[in-house]
Structure 1
Amino acid sequence: MFKIDGDVFRPPQKDILFSTLVGNGVQIAMTFLITLVFAALDFLSPEKPGALLTCFILCYVLLGIPAGYTSARLYKMFGGTNWQKIALTTAITCPSLIFVILFVLNLVLWENVSSTAIPCTTFVALLALWFCISTPLVFIGAYLGFKRPVYKNPIPINQIPREIPKQPLYTKPLLSILVSGILPFGCIFIQLFFILNSIWVHQYYHYFGFLLIVYIILIITCSETTILLCYFHLCTEDYNWWWRSFLTSGSTAVYFFLYSGYYFATKLKISDGVSTFLYFGYTLMLTFILFLFTGAIGFLACF
Protein backbone atom coordinates (compact mmCIF):
# COMPACT_ATOMS: atom_id res chain seq x y z
CA MET A 1 0.00 0.00 0.00
CA PHE A 2 2.94 2.32 0.64
CA LYS A 3 3.68 2.30 -3.11
CA ILE A 4 0.61 4.42 -3.84
CA ASP A 5 0.78 6.79 -0.88
CA GLY A 6 1.51 9.67 -3.26
CA ASP A 7 -1.66 9.01 -5.27
CA VAL A 8 -4.23 8.14 -2.62
CA PHE A 9 -5.36 11.74 -2.20
CA ARG A 10 -5.33 12.61 -5.88
CA PRO A 11 -8.61 14.49 -6.58
CA PRO A 12 -11.29 12.41 -8.29
CA GLN A 13 -12.69 13.04 -11.73
CA LYS A 14 -15.79 15.27 -11.82
CA ASP A 15 -14.94 16.63 -8.39
CA ILE A 16 -17.78 19.18 -8.46
CA LEU A 17 -20.39 16.49 -9.04
CA PHE A 18 -18.80 14.31 -6.38
CA SER A 19 -18.81 17.11 -3.81
CA THR A 20 -22.41 17.93 -4.69
CA LEU A 21 -23.62 14.36 -4.21
CA VAL A 22 -21.83 14.00 -0.89
CA GLY A 23 -23.25 17.28 0.39
CA ASN A 24 -26.79 16.32 -0.57
CA GLY A 25 -26.27 12.88 0.94
CA VAL A 26 -25.27 14.42 4.26
CA GLN A 27 -28.37 16.61 4.14
CA ILE A 28 -30.62 13.60 3.53
CA ALA A 29 -28.91 11.53 6.24
CA MET A 30 -29.47 14.25 8.84
CA THR A 31 -33.05 14.69 7.65
CA PHE A 32 -33.75 10.98 8.08
CA LEU A 33 -32.21 11.01 11.56
CA ILE A 34 -34.17 13.99 12.86
CA THR A 35 -37.45 12.76 11.36
CA LEU A 36 -37.02 9.29 12.84
CA VAL A 37 -36.16 10.72 16.26
CA PHE A 38 -39.31 12.84 16.25
CA ALA A 39 -41.38 9.87 15.09
CA ALA A 40 -39.84 7.52 17.68
CA LEU A 41 -40.66 10.03 20.44
CA ASP A 42 -44.31 10.07 19.29
CA PHE A 43 -44.23 13.66 18.12
CA LEU A 44 -45.53 12.42 14.76
CA SER A 45 -48.66 10.29 14.68
CA PRO A 46 -48.64 7.19 12.40
CA GLU A 47 -52.31 7.88 11.68
CA LYS A 48 -51.27 11.13 10.00
CA PRO A 49 -48.67 10.23 7.36
CA GLY A 50 -48.88 13.77 6.05
CA ALA A 51 -47.29 15.01 9.27
CA LEU A 52 -44.34 12.68 8.73
CA LEU A 53 -43.84 13.91 5.18
CA THR A 54 -44.17 17.54 6.26
CA CYS A 55 -41.54 17.04 8.96
CA PHE A 56 -39.21 15.41 6.44
CA ILE A 57 -39.57 18.26 3.94
CA LEU A 58 -39.09 20.98 6.55
CA CYS A 59 -36.03 19.27 8.01
CA TYR A 60 -34.55 18.85 4.54
CA VAL A 61 -35.12 22.52 3.73
CA LEU A 62 -33.64 23.74 7.02
CA LEU A 63 -30.57 21.51 6.74
CA GLY A 64 -29.16 23.30 3.72
CA ILE A 65 -26.22 24.61 5.77
CA PRO A 66 -24.64 21.16 6.39
CA ALA A 67 -25.06 20.32 2.70
CA GLY A 68 -23.33 23.49 1.52
CA TYR A 69 -20.64 23.23 4.19
CA THR A 70 -19.74 19.64 3.30
CA SER A 71 -19.70 20.27 -0.44
CA ALA A 72 -17.57 23.40 -0.11
CA ARG A 73 -15.04 21.72 2.19
CA LEU A 74 -14.54 18.87 -0.27
CA TYR A 75 -14.49 21.19 -3.27
CA LYS A 76 -11.82 23.38 -1.68
CA MET A 77 -9.75 20.33 -0.77
CA PHE A 78 -9.88 19.25 -4.43
CA GLY A 79 -8.44 22.62 -5.45
CA GLY A 80 -11.65 24.48 -6.27
CA THR A 81 -11.71 28.25 -5.96
CA ASN A 82 -15.29 29.31 -6.79
CA TRP A 83 -17.46 28.65 -3.73
CA GLN A 84 -20.52 30.19 -5.39
CA LYS A 85 -20.35 27.54 -8.10
CA ILE A 86 -20.33 24.59 -5.71
CA ALA A 87 -23.06 26.23 -3.62
CA LEU A 88 -25.29 26.61 -6.68
CA THR A 89 -24.75 23.04 -7.87
CA THR A 90 -25.43 21.70 -4.38
CA ALA A 91 -28.63 23.70 -4.05
CA ILE A 92 -29.97 22.94 -7.54
CA THR A 93 -28.71 19.64 -8.98
CA CYS A 94 -30.22 16.89 -6.82
CA PRO A 95 -33.36 18.74 -5.67
CA SER A 96 -34.18 19.68 -9.26
CA LEU A 97 -33.98 16.04 -10.36
CA ILE A 98 -36.35 15.01 -7.57
CA PHE A 99 -38.66 17.92 -8.37
CA VAL A 100 -38.77 17.03 -12.08
CA ILE A 101 -39.73 13.43 -11.31
CA LEU A 102 -42.41 14.59 -8.89
CA PHE A 103 -43.75 17.12 -11.39
CA VAL A 104 -43.96 14.57 -14.22
CA LEU A 105 -45.80 12.12 -11.98
CA ASN A 106 -48.17 14.85 -10.92
CA LEU A 107 -48.86 15.75 -14.55
CA VAL A 108 -50.07 12.19 -15.04
CA LEU A 109 -52.34 12.54 -12.01
CA TRP A 110 -53.70 15.86 -13.28
CA GLU A 111 -54.34 14.34 -16.69
CA ASN A 112 -56.36 11.54 -15.07
CA VAL A 113 -58.17 13.97 -12.74
CA SER A 114 -56.96 12.07 -9.70
CA SER A 115 -57.83 13.21 -6.20
CA THR A 116 -54.28 12.35 -5.09
CA ALA A 117 -52.73 14.98 -7.37
CA ILE A 118 -50.70 17.66 -5.63
CA PRO A 119 -52.39 21.08 -5.97
CA CYS A 120 -50.61 23.87 -7.83
CA THR A 121 -50.48 25.91 -4.64
CA THR A 122 -48.51 23.14 -2.95
CA PHE A 123 -46.01 23.13 -5.80
CA VAL A 124 -45.64 26.89 -5.46
CA ALA A 125 -45.06 26.46 -1.72
CA LEU A 126 -42.42 23.80 -2.38
CA LEU A 127 -40.65 26.06 -4.85
CA ALA A 128 -40.75 28.90 -2.33
CA LEU A 129 -39.22 26.68 0.36
CA TRP A 130 -36.58 25.52 -2.09
CA PHE A 131 -35.46 28.86 -3.50
CA CYS A 132 -36.25 31.20 -0.60
CA ILE A 133 -35.04 29.09 2.34
CA SER A 134 -33.06 26.02 1.30
CA THR A 135 -30.92 27.66 -1.38
CA PRO A 136 -29.82 30.64 0.79
CA LEU A 137 -28.97 28.23 3.60
CA VAL A 138 -26.84 26.16 1.21
CA PHE A 139 -24.99 29.31 0.17
CA ILE A 140 -24.41 30.21 3.83
CA GLY A 141 -23.07 26.74 4.53
CA ALA A 142 -20.82 26.84 1.47
CA TYR A 143 -19.47 30.25 2.49
CA LEU A 144 -18.70 29.02 6.00
CA GLY A 145 -17.11 25.84 4.69
CA PHE A 146 -14.96 27.69 2.18
CA LYS A 147 -13.70 30.09 4.85
CA ARG A 148 -12.27 27.21 6.86
CA PRO A 149 -8.62 26.33 6.22
CA VAL A 150 -8.23 23.77 3.48
CA TYR A 151 -7.73 20.21 4.61
CA LYS A 152 -4.07 19.37 4.06
CA ASN A 153 -3.20 15.92 2.83
CA PRO A 154 -0.81 14.07 5.15
CA ILE A 155 1.48 13.33 2.20
CA PRO A 156 2.13 15.25 -1.03
CA ILE A 157 0.51 14.12 -4.27
CA ASN A 158 2.77 12.85 -7.04
CA GLN A 159 2.83 14.98 -10.16
CA ILE A 160 2.58 11.95 -12.44
CA PRO A 161 -0.19 9.45 -11.64
CA ARG A 162 1.04 5.96 -10.91
CA GLU A 163 -0.07 3.24 -13.30
CA ILE A 164 -2.65 0.93 -11.74
CA PRO A 165 -1.69 -2.74 -12.14
CA LYS A 166 -4.09 -5.38 -13.39
CA GLN A 167 -6.72 -6.01 -10.76
CA PRO A 168 -7.95 -9.39 -9.51
CA LEU A 169 -11.53 -10.39 -10.21
CA TYR A 170 -12.87 -9.59 -6.74
CA THR A 171 -11.78 -5.95 -7.04
CA LYS A 172 -13.28 -5.30 -10.46
CA PRO A 173 -15.32 -2.07 -10.14
CA LEU A 174 -18.72 -3.28 -11.32
CA LEU A 175 -18.58 -6.61 -9.49
CA SER A 176 -17.35 -5.22 -6.18
CA ILE A 177 -19.82 -2.32 -6.25
CA LEU A 178 -22.83 -4.54 -6.93
CA VAL A 179 -21.89 -7.24 -4.44
CA SER A 180 -21.18 -4.75 -1.67
CA GLY A 181 -24.76 -3.49 -1.62
CA ILE A 182 -26.19 -6.85 -0.61
CA LEU A 183 -25.18 -6.70 3.05
CA PRO A 184 -26.54 -3.20 3.82
CA PHE A 185 -29.75 -4.06 2.00
CA GLY A 186 -30.08 -7.20 4.10
CA CYS A 187 -30.30 -4.99 7.19
CA ILE A 188 -33.36 -3.15 5.96
CA PHE A 189 -35.30 -5.39 3.59
CA ILE A 190 -37.63 -6.74 6.29
CA GLN A 191 -38.60 -3.24 7.34
CA LEU A 192 -38.99 -2.29 3.70
CA PHE A 193 -41.92 -4.67 3.41
CA PHE A 194 -43.82 -2.86 6.17
CA ILE A 195 -42.80 0.57 4.86
CA LEU A 196 -44.02 -0.26 1.37
CA ASN A 197 -47.24 -1.58 2.87
CA SER A 198 -47.75 1.71 4.67
CA ILE A 199 -47.21 3.62 1.43
CA TRP A 200 -49.13 1.52 -1.09
CA VAL A 201 -51.58 -0.55 0.99
CA HIS A 202 -52.30 2.25 3.49
CA GLN A 203 -51.37 0.21 6.54
CA TYR A 204 -50.20 2.22 9.54
CA TYR A 205 -46.53 1.88 10.46
CA HIS A 206 -45.95 2.14 14.22
CA TYR A 207 -42.42 0.82 14.75
CA PHE A 208 -40.44 4.03 14.40
CA GLY A 209 -38.27 3.24 17.41
CA PHE A 210 -37.20 -0.02 15.81
CA LEU A 211 -36.79 1.75 12.48
CA LEU A 212 -34.40 4.21 14.14
CA ILE A 213 -32.31 1.25 15.33
CA VAL A 214 -32.35 -0.19 11.80
CA TYR A 215 -31.24 3.21 10.51
CA ILE A 216 -28.21 3.15 12.81
CA ILE A 217 -27.42 -0.46 11.85
CA LEU A 218 -27.62 0.52 8.18
CA ILE A 219 -25.09 3.32 8.73
CA ILE A 220 -22.72 0.97 10.56
CA THR A 221 -23.06 -1.74 7.91
CA CYS A 222 -22.51 0.67 5.02
CA SER A 223 -19.46 2.09 6.77
CA GLU A 224 -17.83 -1.24 7.58
CA THR A 225 -18.52 -2.74 4.15
CA THR A 226 -17.12 0.26 2.32
CA ILE A 227 -14.03 0.52 4.53
CA LEU A 228 -13.25 -3.16 4.00
CA LEU A 229 -13.57 -3.01 0.22
CA CYS A 230 -11.65 0.26 0.07
CA TYR A 231 -8.83 -1.43 1.96
CA PHE A 232 -8.83 -4.32 -0.52
CA HIS A 233 -8.59 -1.90 -3.44
CA LEU A 234 -5.72 0.03 -1.90
CA CYS A 235 -3.89 -3.21 -1.17
CA THR A 236 -4.05 -4.03 -4.89
CA GLU A 237 -2.58 -0.56 -5.64
CA ASP A 238 -5.83 0.89 -6.98
CA TYR A 239 -5.97 4.42 -5.59
CA ASN A 240 -9.24 5.46 -7.28
CA TRP A 241 -11.22 5.16 -4.10
CA TRP A 242 -13.24 8.39 -4.03
CA TRP A 243 -16.05 7.48 -6.39
CA ARG A 244 -15.82 3.79 -5.59
CA SER A 245 -16.39 4.38 -1.89
CA PHE A 246 -19.51 6.38 -2.74
CA LEU A 247 -20.86 3.84 -5.22
CA THR A 248 -20.00 0.85 -3.03
CA SER A 249 -22.53 1.67 -0.33
CA GLY A 250 -24.74 3.57 -2.77
CA SER A 251 -25.41 0.30 -4.60
CA THR A 252 -27.79 -0.53 -1.75
CA ALA A 253 -30.30 1.58 -3.68
CA VAL A 254 -30.09 -0.82 -6.63
CA TYR A 255 -31.36 -3.67 -4.47
CA PHE A 256 -34.05 -1.42 -3.07
CA PHE A 257 -35.30 -0.79 -6.60
CA LEU A 258 -35.19 -4.50 -7.46
CA TYR A 259 -37.05 -5.40 -4.28
CA SER A 260 -39.66 -2.75 -5.06
CA GLY A 261 -40.16 -4.41 -8.43
CA TYR A 262 -40.58 -7.77 -6.71
CA TYR A 263 -43.05 -6.23 -4.26
CA PHE A 264 -45.01 -4.74 -7.15
CA ALA A 265 -45.19 -8.07 -8.97
CA THR A 266 -46.13 -10.21 -5.97
CA LYS A 267 -48.03 -8.02 -3.50
CA LEU A 268 -49.87 -5.41 -5.52
CA LYS A 269 -52.69 -6.07 -7.94
CA ILE A 270 -52.03 -3.26 -10.40
CA SER A 271 -52.72 -3.82 -14.07
CA ASP A 272 -53.27 -0.41 -15.68
CA GLY A 273 -50.34 1.42 -17.18
CA VAL A 274 -50.87 4.72 -15.37
CA SER A 275 -50.68 3.18 -11.90
CA THR A 276 -47.63 1.17 -12.93
CA PHE A 277 -45.93 4.31 -14.21
CA LEU A 278 -46.71 6.15 -10.98
CA TYR A 279 -45.44 3.30 -8.81
CA PHE A 280 -42.09 3.02 -10.54
CA GLY A 281 -41.79 6.80 -10.82
CA TYR A 282 -42.10 7.24 -7.07
CA THR A 283 -39.84 4.22 -6.55
CA LEU A 284 -37.19 5.80 -8.77
CA MET A 285 -37.34 8.97 -6.70
CA LEU A 286 -36.94 7.03 -3.45
CA THR A 287 -34.11 5.02 -4.99
CA PHE A 288 -32.21 8.19 -5.83
CA ILE A 289 -32.69 9.53 -2.29
CA LEU A 290 -31.43 6.26 -0.79
CA PHE A 291 -28.48 6.29 -3.20
CA LEU A 292 -27.40 9.75 -2.02
CA PHE A 293 -27.81 8.81 1.63
CA THR A 294 -25.95 5.49 1.59
CA GLY A 295 -23.30 6.77 -0.82
CA ALA A 296 -22.41 9.71 1.40
CA ILE A 297 -22.22 7.44 4.46
CA GLY A 298 -19.83 5.07 2.69
CA PHE A 299 -17.53 7.81 1.50
CA LEU A 300 -17.39 9.64 4.83
CA ALA A 301 -16.61 6.37 6.60
CA CYS A 302 -13.58 5.85 4.36
CA PHE A 303 -12.55 9.49 4.45
Structure 2
Amino acid sequence: MKTIKIKKFCIGKNQPLTIICGPCVIESEDHALFCAEYLMNIFKGFPELNFIFKSSYDKANRSAHSSFRGPGIQKGLEILAKIQQTFDLPVLTDIHSSEEAVEAAKVVEIIQIPAFLCRQTDLIVAAAQTGAILNIKKGQFMSPWDMQNVINKILISGNDQIILTDRGTSFGYNNLVSDMRAIPIMQEMGYPACYDASHSVQLPGGLGNASGGQRQFIPPLAQAAIAAGANCLFIEAHPNPIEAKSDKESVLAFDMLPKLLATVSQIYQIVQKCEPC
Protein backbone atom coordinates (compact mmCIF):
# COMPACT_ATOMS: atom_id res chain seq x y z
CA MET A 1 0.00 0.00 0.00
CA LYS A 2 1.27 3.45 -0.92
CA THR A 3 1.96 5.80 1.98
CA ILE A 4 0.56 9.31 1.55
CA LYS A 5 2.72 12.08 3.05
CA ILE A 6 0.82 15.07 4.49
CA LYS A 7 2.95 17.76 6.11
CA LYS A 8 4.47 16.13 9.21
CA PHE A 9 2.73 12.76 9.06
CA CYS A 10 1.63 9.95 6.74
CA ILE A 11 -1.51 7.96 6.00
CA GLY A 12 -1.10 4.31 5.15
CA LYS A 13 -0.34 0.87 6.45
CA ASN A 14 1.19 0.86 9.94
CA GLN A 15 1.00 4.65 10.13
CA PRO A 16 -0.77 6.46 13.01
CA LEU A 17 -4.51 6.89 12.63
CA THR A 18 -5.56 10.10 10.88
CA ILE A 19 -8.87 11.81 11.60
CA ILE A 20 -10.39 14.21 9.05
CA CYS A 21 -12.75 16.39 11.05
CA GLY A 22 -14.60 19.69 10.94
CA PRO A 23 -18.00 21.26 10.21
CA CYS A 24 -19.76 20.21 7.03
CA VAL A 25 -19.78 23.73 5.61
CA ILE A 26 -18.01 27.01 6.38
CA GLU A 27 -20.76 28.92 8.17
CA SER A 28 -18.67 32.08 8.71
CA GLU A 29 -15.03 33.01 9.18
CA ASP A 30 -15.39 33.31 12.95
CA HIS A 31 -17.21 30.00 13.20
CA ALA A 32 -14.63 28.16 11.09
CA LEU A 33 -11.71 29.57 13.10
CA PHE A 34 -13.45 28.70 16.36
CA CYS A 35 -14.06 25.13 15.17
CA ALA A 36 -10.49 24.66 14.00
CA GLU A 37 -9.04 25.88 17.30
CA TYR A 38 -11.50 23.89 19.40
CA LEU A 39 -10.81 20.69 17.49
CA MET A 40 -7.06 21.26 17.55
CA ASN A 41 -7.23 21.48 21.33
CA ILE A 42 -9.23 18.24 21.51
CA PHE A 43 -6.63 16.47 19.40
CA LYS A 44 -3.83 17.71 21.63
CA GLY A 45 -5.20 15.19 24.13
CA PHE A 46 -4.59 12.41 21.60
CA PRO A 47 -0.97 12.77 20.42
CA GLU A 48 -1.12 9.33 18.84
CA LEU A 49 -3.69 10.64 16.32
CA ASN A 50 -3.16 12.95 13.35
CA PHE A 51 -5.71 15.66 12.55
CA ILE A 52 -6.77 17.17 9.24
CA PHE A 53 -9.28 20.02 9.34
CA LYS A 54 -12.08 19.90 6.79
CA SER A 55 -14.89 22.17 5.74
CA SER A 56 -16.62 23.01 2.46
CA TYR A 57 -16.79 26.45 0.86
CA ASP A 58 -19.78 25.35 -1.21
CA LYS A 59 -22.25 22.52 -0.72
CA ALA A 60 -23.39 22.20 -4.31
CA ASN A 61 -25.37 18.99 -3.78
CA ARG A 62 -28.34 20.20 -1.75
CA SER A 63 -31.85 18.79 -1.60
CA ALA A 64 -33.54 22.20 -1.85
CA HIS A 65 -32.64 25.44 -3.61
CA SER A 66 -33.07 27.31 -0.33
CA SER A 67 -30.46 25.22 1.51
CA PHE A 68 -27.40 27.03 2.85
CA ARG A 69 -24.41 26.41 0.59
CA GLY A 70 -21.52 28.34 2.14
CA PRO A 71 -19.50 31.47 1.37
CA GLY A 72 -18.35 30.39 -2.08
CA ILE A 73 -14.92 29.51 -3.38
CA GLN A 74 -13.12 32.87 -3.12
CA LYS A 75 -14.11 33.72 0.44
CA GLY A 76 -14.06 30.08 1.48
CA LEU A 77 -10.49 29.49 0.36
CA GLU A 78 -9.41 32.71 2.08
CA ILE A 79 -10.86 31.33 5.33
CA LEU A 80 -9.20 27.94 4.88
CA ALA A 81 -5.87 29.62 4.16
CA LYS A 82 -6.23 31.63 7.36
CA ILE A 83 -6.86 28.43 9.32
CA GLN A 84 -3.70 26.91 7.86
CA GLN A 85 -1.61 29.93 8.71
CA THR A 86 -3.07 30.43 12.18
CA PHE A 87 -3.00 26.84 13.41
CA ASP A 88 -0.50 25.13 11.07
CA LEU A 89 -3.06 22.48 10.17
CA PRO A 90 -3.42 20.50 6.95
CA VAL A 91 -6.76 21.29 5.34
CA LEU A 92 -9.20 19.40 3.10
CA THR A 93 -12.07 20.75 1.07
CA ASP A 94 -14.22 19.41 -1.76
CA ILE A 95 -14.58 20.67 -5.31
CA HIS A 96 -17.29 20.45 -7.94
CA SER A 97 -15.73 21.60 -11.22
CA SER A 98 -12.45 21.46 -13.11
CA GLU A 99 -11.95 25.19 -12.61
CA GLU A 100 -12.36 24.83 -8.85
CA ALA A 101 -9.66 22.15 -8.78
CA VAL A 102 -6.98 24.59 -9.89
CA GLU A 103 -7.98 27.27 -7.38
CA ALA A 104 -8.43 24.88 -4.43
CA ALA A 105 -5.05 23.22 -5.04
CA LYS A 106 -3.35 26.59 -4.55
CA VAL A 107 -4.55 26.58 -0.94
CA VAL A 108 -5.36 23.16 0.50
CA GLU A 109 -3.23 20.03 0.79
CA ILE A 110 -6.08 17.65 0.00
CA ILE A 111 -8.78 18.01 -2.63
CA GLN A 112 -11.86 15.90 -2.10
CA ILE A 113 -14.03 14.55 -4.90
CA PRO A 114 -17.64 14.17 -3.69
CA ALA A 115 -19.24 10.75 -3.99
CA PHE A 116 -21.80 11.80 -6.61
CA LEU A 117 -18.98 13.17 -8.80
CA CYS A 118 -16.46 10.33 -8.54
CA ARG A 119 -17.18 9.17 -12.12
CA GLN A 120 -16.83 12.62 -13.70
CA THR A 121 -13.72 12.11 -15.80
CA ASP A 122 -12.94 15.75 -16.56
CA LEU A 123 -13.18 16.64 -12.87
CA ILE A 124 -10.97 13.71 -11.81
CA VAL A 125 -8.35 14.51 -14.44
CA ALA A 126 -8.28 18.22 -13.60
CA ALA A 127 -7.91 17.48 -9.89
CA ALA A 128 -5.17 14.93 -10.53
CA GLN A 129 -3.21 17.30 -12.76
CA THR A 130 -2.91 19.84 -9.93
CA GLY A 131 -0.59 17.42 -8.13
CA ALA A 132 -2.60 17.72 -4.91
CA ILE A 133 -3.45 14.75 -2.71
CA LEU A 134 -6.87 13.48 -3.73
CA ASN A 135 -9.47 12.03 -1.39
CA ILE A 136 -11.99 10.24 -3.58
CA LYS A 137 -15.30 9.28 -2.06
CA LYS A 138 -16.79 6.09 -3.44
CA GLY A 139 -20.21 6.80 -4.91
CA GLN A 140 -23.18 5.37 -3.03
CA PHE A 141 -24.15 3.75 -6.32
CA MET A 142 -20.79 2.03 -6.91
CA SER A 143 -19.16 -1.20 -5.81
CA PRO A 144 -15.76 -0.89 -4.12
CA TRP A 145 -14.02 -2.63 -7.03
CA ASP A 146 -15.41 0.01 -9.42
CA MET A 147 -12.97 2.45 -7.79
CA GLN A 148 -10.15 0.90 -9.81
CA ASN A 149 -11.45 2.83 -12.83
CA VAL A 150 -11.21 6.06 -10.83
CA ILE A 151 -7.66 5.21 -9.76
CA ASN A 152 -6.69 4.58 -13.37
CA LYS A 153 -7.94 8.02 -14.42
CA ILE A 154 -5.81 9.62 -11.72
CA LEU A 155 -2.69 7.60 -12.55
CA ILE A 156 -2.97 8.35 -16.27
CA SER A 157 -3.10 12.03 -15.31
CA GLY A 158 0.28 11.78 -13.56
CA ASN A 159 -0.79 11.64 -9.91
CA ASP A 160 -0.56 8.77 -7.43
CA GLN A 161 -1.42 10.66 -4.23
CA ILE A 162 -4.72 8.91 -3.58
CA ILE A 163 -6.96 8.18 -0.61
CA LEU A 164 -10.14 6.16 -1.16
CA THR A 165 -13.13 6.81 1.10
CA ASP A 166 -16.22 4.71 1.71
CA ARG A 167 -19.35 6.63 2.76
CA GLY A 168 -22.03 3.98 2.64
CA THR A 169 -23.99 2.38 -0.18
CA SER A 170 -27.55 3.08 -1.32
CA PHE A 171 -29.97 0.67 0.33
CA GLY A 172 -33.42 1.30 -1.08
CA TYR A 173 -34.89 4.79 -0.87
CA ASN A 174 -33.55 7.39 1.60
CA ASN A 175 -31.19 4.94 3.28
CA LEU A 176 -27.58 3.79 3.26
CA VAL A 177 -25.81 0.69 4.51
CA SER A 178 -22.10 0.20 5.23
CA ASP A 179 -20.33 -2.88 3.93
CA MET A 180 -17.00 -3.03 5.77
CA ARG A 181 -15.63 -5.38 3.09
CA ALA A 182 -15.16 -2.24 1.01
CA ILE A 183 -12.21 -1.20 3.17
CA PRO A 184 -9.90 -4.18 2.49
CA ILE A 185 -11.14 -4.40 -1.11
CA MET A 186 -10.09 -0.81 -1.81
CA GLN A 187 -6.83 -1.25 0.09
CA GLU A 188 -5.95 -4.13 -2.23
CA MET A 189 -5.83 -1.54 -5.02
CA GLY A 190 -2.72 -0.14 -3.36
CA TYR A 191 -3.94 2.99 -1.57
CA PRO A 192 -5.07 3.95 1.95
CA ALA A 193 -8.74 3.52 2.75
CA CYS A 194 -10.73 6.03 4.77
CA TYR A 195 -14.20 5.60 6.26
CA ASP A 196 -16.68 8.47 6.37
CA ALA A 197 -18.59 7.78 9.56
CA SER A 198 -20.84 10.84 9.36
CA HIS A 199 -22.14 10.67 5.79
CA SER A 200 -22.65 6.91 6.16
CA VAL A 201 -25.41 7.57 8.70
CA GLN A 202 -27.28 9.97 6.42
CA LEU A 203 -30.81 9.30 5.26
CA PRO A 204 -30.47 10.98 1.83
CA GLY A 205 -33.42 13.27 1.17
CA GLY A 206 -35.09 11.69 4.19
CA LEU A 207 -36.61 14.96 5.41
CA GLY A 208 -38.12 15.84 2.03
CA ASN A 209 -36.24 19.12 1.52
CA ALA A 210 -33.08 17.96 3.31
CA SER A 211 -31.24 14.79 4.27
CA GLY A 212 -31.95 13.15 7.58
CA GLY A 213 -29.49 11.17 9.62
CA GLN A 214 -28.88 8.89 12.59
CA ARG A 215 -25.84 10.31 14.37
CA GLN A 216 -26.16 7.78 17.18
CA PHE A 217 -24.65 5.23 14.81
CA ILE A 218 -21.49 7.23 14.08
CA PRO A 219 -19.50 5.70 16.99
CA PRO A 220 -20.29 2.01 16.31
CA LEU A 221 -19.69 2.36 12.57
CA ALA A 222 -16.42 4.24 13.12
CA GLN A 223 -15.27 1.54 15.50
CA ALA A 224 -16.23 -1.20 13.04
CA ALA A 225 -14.32 0.54 10.24
CA ILE A 226 -11.13 0.74 12.32
CA ALA A 227 -11.51 -2.91 13.29
CA ALA A 228 -11.84 -3.69 9.56
CA GLY A 229 -8.48 -2.01 8.95
CA ALA A 230 -9.30 1.56 7.83
CA ASN A 231 -6.26 3.86 7.74
CA CYS A 232 -8.24 7.04 8.29
CA LEU A 233 -11.59 8.29 9.61
CA PHE A 234 -13.69 11.13 8.24
CA ILE A 235 -16.03 12.58 10.87
CA GLU A 236 -17.92 15.81 10.40
CA ALA A 237 -18.46 17.56 13.72
CA HIS A 238 -20.12 20.72 14.99
CA PRO A 239 -20.17 22.56 18.33
CA ASN A 240 -23.99 22.49 18.34
CA PRO A 241 -25.46 20.14 15.70
CA ILE A 242 -29.01 21.40 16.11
CA GLU A 243 -27.80 24.78 14.82
CA ALA A 244 -25.63 23.40 12.00
CA LYS A 245 -26.39 24.97 8.63
CA SER A 246 -25.71 21.72 6.77
CA ASP A 247 -26.30 18.05 7.61
CA LYS A 248 -27.40 18.82 11.17
CA GLU A 249 -28.81 15.29 11.58
CA SER A 250 -25.54 13.53 10.77
CA VAL A 251 -22.77 15.63 12.32
CA LEU A 252 -21.20 14.65 15.62
CA ALA A 253 -21.28 17.06 18.54
CA PHE A 254 -17.85 18.28 19.64
CA ASP A 255 -18.44 17.03 23.18
CA MET A 256 -18.96 13.48 21.90
CA LEU A 257 -15.67 13.44 20.01
CA PRO A 258 -13.14 12.74 22.84
CA LYS A 259 -14.83 9.50 23.92
CA LEU A 260 -14.99 8.26 20.33
CA LEU A 261 -11.36 9.20 19.66
CA ALA A 262 -10.23 7.32 22.76
CA THR A 263 -12.10 4.19 21.66
CA VAL A 264 -10.99 4.15 18.01
CA SER A 265 -7.41 4.87 19.07
CA GLN A 266 -7.42 1.78 21.27
CA ILE A 267 -8.87 -0.37 18.51
CA TYR A 268 -6.38 1.00 15.99
CA GLN A 269 -3.41 0.16 18.20
CA ILE A 270 -4.59 -3.46 18.24
CA VAL A 271 -5.23 -3.70 14.50
CA GLN A 272 -2.27 -1.69 13.17
CA LYS A 273 1.41 -1.86 14.03
CA CYS A 274 2.50 1.78 13.81
CA GLU A 275 5.93 2.66 12.42
CA PRO A 276 7.78 5.96 11.80
CA CYS A 277 6.69 7.87 8.70
- Normalising by structure 1, we get a TM-score of 0.28
**Structure ranking higher in helix proportion:** 1
**Structure ranking higher in strand proportion:** 2
Larger radius of gyration: 1
